[in-house]
Structure 1
Amino acid sequence: MTTDVDLPVSGRKVAGSRAGGSAAGAPLVVALHGGGYNRRYFDVPGHSLLDLGAATGFPVFSVDRPGYGGSAPLPGGATSFGDHAEALDDAIGALWAEHGEGRPGVVLLGHSIGSAIAVHVAARHPHWPLLGISIHGVGDRSPAHIVDAWRTLPAGGPVELPAEQRRALLYGPEGTVDAGTVESAKVSVEAVPLEEMLEIVGGWPEQVAQLAAAVIVPVQYTLAEYDGLWVVEESRVAAFAGYFNAAPWVDARLQAGAGHNLDHHRLSRALHLRQLAFASECAARMPAARG
C-alpha cells in the first residue's frame, strides 16, 4: 500500500509517496521524477516501482520536486537543477533522519530531468549516506530538432505538451507499451517549467562531464532505444558512462524495445528489478568500498 507523506524542510512543504518495505539490509530508495510529471510517475497501476519495492522488501519513496504536485516552489521562482538538488538534498536528509535507522544508506533513482538532478545531488557529496545512483531517460546530446523546438517556445509560463507530442516523444512504438498504460499515466502529468526544458538542452550538456566526474558512488545508467529526446547510439551510452570516472563502478546499457518513459513500458518490471538489484548490490558492497 502506498502512503502519502509530507516533509517540512526549512519551513517549505515537500510531498512524497511511500511504500513500506522491511527486508533486512535493504537501503532506502528515493525516486525523482522528470519534467512534466509528478511523483505519481513511479506509481502507475501495473507499472509501479513503489508496489514492487513493497513486495520485495525495499522501502521506496517517490518525491515531488519543488513546484510539482504537493511540493512548494522554491523561493524567488528558482528552477535550476542545482537549486532543486540543494532543496532535495535537505529533503532526503530529512527522510533519512526519520526512516533510515537500521538501513545501510540511500540509493537515488532518477528519470529524465530527475536523473540530471540526481547527478547534481551526488556531485554535492551529501551528508547523508548516498550508496549509489540509478539514472535513465537522460543523455548528453539531444537531436537538433528537439533543441530548436524547445528554444523557440514562447517565453512565459509552464509548457503543456499536447497528448500527441507526448506520445510520440516519450513512448516507443506500438508493441512496446500498452495504450491503457499511457492513458493511466496521465494522472501524473503536469506542465513543465520552460526553464527546465531550456536547461536540459543547454546548461546540462555543458556541465554533465564536470558534474559526473565529482560522483564517487556507483552508477547505473540506462538509455532506451526509442527515446525521442536524446541521440540514441551505443557510442553515446559509452561516452556518457565514461564521464563517471571517479565512480567505483558503472553499469551502463542501451535498453532495446522501450521509449523515454521506460517506467511505463512493457519492460518496466525488468527495469525496476534491475534498479532494486543495483540498490541491493550497492548496499552489499558498501563496507568493502568504504574499507
Structure 2
Amino acid sequence: MTTRIDVPVGRGRITGLTTDGEAGTPLVVALHGGGYHSGYFDVPGHSLLDLGAAAGFAVFALDRPGYGGSDPLLGEASFAGSAEVLDAAIDTLWTEHGRGRPGVVLIAHSIGSAIAVHLAARHPRWPLLGISLHGIGDRSPAHIVDAWHAIPAGAPMELPAEQRRALLYGPAGTVDAGVVEAAKASVEPLPLAEMLEIVGEWPEDVAGLAAAVTVPVQYTLAEYDGLWVVDENRVETFAGYFTSAPWVDARLQAGAGHNLDHHRLSRALHLRQLAFACECATRVPAAGD
C-alpha cells in the first residue's frame, strides 16, 4: 500500500510516497526529474512503488525541494543545494527505517539522476550501496540548449502538453496514450534554474562529480530521448566518467523515450533496477571480511 510521508529537514520538510518492504532488503530511494513530483514513480500500471512492494522492497519516492509538498531551497534552485537537503532527509529515513537493512540504493530519473550523482559524490554518512541512473546524459542537442536559454526569467514553467509528448516519450508503438494522460497527474512546473543548470553547468561538472563516486552505477539512456544526444558513444563516454566505481552497468535502451518509467518497457526497467539493488546489497562485504 502506498502512503504519504513527511520528513523534517532543518526548519523545512521533504515529502513523498512510500511502500512497505520486507526486512533485509535495501532501502530504495527514488528521485524524480524536472517537471514532475514523486507521483512520477507511481503511475498506474507503471509504478515502481507497486513493483518494489511486490518484490519486498521498501521504496521511498521523494519530492525534491520545491516539488510536491517539499519546501523549496533557500535562494535559487541548484543540484548541489538539492543534494544537501536530500542527504539530510535520507539520513533521517535511514535512522527510522534502516534497521536490519544492508544500505540504501538510489534510483533516479533525469535531473534527479544529476542530483543522485551529486549525492554520491558527497560520500554521505548513511550507507549508500549504489546508484541507478536513467534519463540523463552529458550533451543536449543544440536546439534544446537554445530553447531553454530563450525562456524568459520569472516563475517556474510547465512544458506544454504537445512539447512534453514530443520530447519525453518515444513513438506511439513504445508507449500507450492512456499512460501519457495518466502521468499528467504528476506534472508540476519546474524552476528555470534547473533547466539552465542541466544544459549548462552539468555537462561541465559531470566528469569530476562522477569520478568521486565510489559505489556501483547502473546507467540507462533511451533510444528516443529527446533531451540528450543519444548514441552508443555517448553511453560509453558517460559510463566512463565513473572511474572510481567498483563496476558500471551501462546500456542504450531501444524502444523507449526519456520518460522510460511510463513506456511499455517500464516493467523491464524497474525489474533491472531492483535486481541491481539486490546485487549491490549482495556484494557488500560481511562484517569481519
Structure 2 CA distance for partners of 1:289 and 1:220, relative to 1, 3 Å: farther
Structure-to-structure mapping, 1:1-291, within 5 angstroms: 1-22=1-22, 24-75=23-74, 77-287=75-285, 291=289
Deviation at 1:276, TM superposition (A): 0.1
| Aligned amino acid, residue 93 of structure 2 | L
Structure 1 CA distance, aligned partners of 2:228 and 2:7?
33
Q: How much does 1:78 deviate?
A: 3.2
Q: In 2 relative to 1, CA 141–54 (structure 1 residues): closer, same or farther, beyond 3 Å?
A: same
How far apart in 2 are the matches of 1:133 and 1:244?
A: 11
Query: Structure 1's 192 and 45: CA in aligned 2 closer, same or farther, altered over 3 A?
Result: same
Contact 2:76 2:193 in 1 (8 A): no
Task: Tell me, in whole angstroms, the C-alpha distance in 2 between the residues paired with 1:193 and 1:6.
Answer: 22
User: Greater CA deviation, 281-290 or 165-174?
Assistant: 281-290
TM-score if structure 1 supplies the norm length? 0.98
Distance (Å, rounded) in 2 between the aligned partners of 1:231 and 1:290: 45
Q: Is the 8 A contact 1:34 1:113 kept in 2?
A: yes
* Distance (Å, rounded) in 2 between the aligned partners of 1:11 and 1:48: 31
Deviation at 1:74, TM superposition (A): 1.5
TM-score, length of structure 2 as denominator length: 0.98
Residue segments in structure 2 that go unaligned for 5+ positions in a row? none
Task: Note if contact 1:25-1:283 (Cα within 8 Å) is conserved in structure 2.
Answer: no
TM-aligned CA distance change 1:289 to 1:195, over 3 Å: farther
SS in 1 for 2:139: coil
Q: Distance in 1 between matches of 2:195 and 2:284?
A: 35
Gaps of 5+ in 1: none
Q: State the alpha-carbon separation in 2 of the partners of residues 289 and 167 from structure 1.
A: 49
Secondary structure of the corresponding residue to residue 33 of structure 2 = coil
- Counterpart of 2:69 in 1: which secondary structure? coil
Deviation at 1:13, TM superposition (A): 1.4
Cα pair 2:133 2:218 within 8 Å, conserved = yes
* Aligned residues of 1:209 and 1:243 also touching (Cα < 8 A): yes
Query: AA paired with 1:36?
Result: G
CA distance in 1, matches of 2:261, 2:98: 26
Displacement after TM superposition at 1:25 (Å) = 2.6
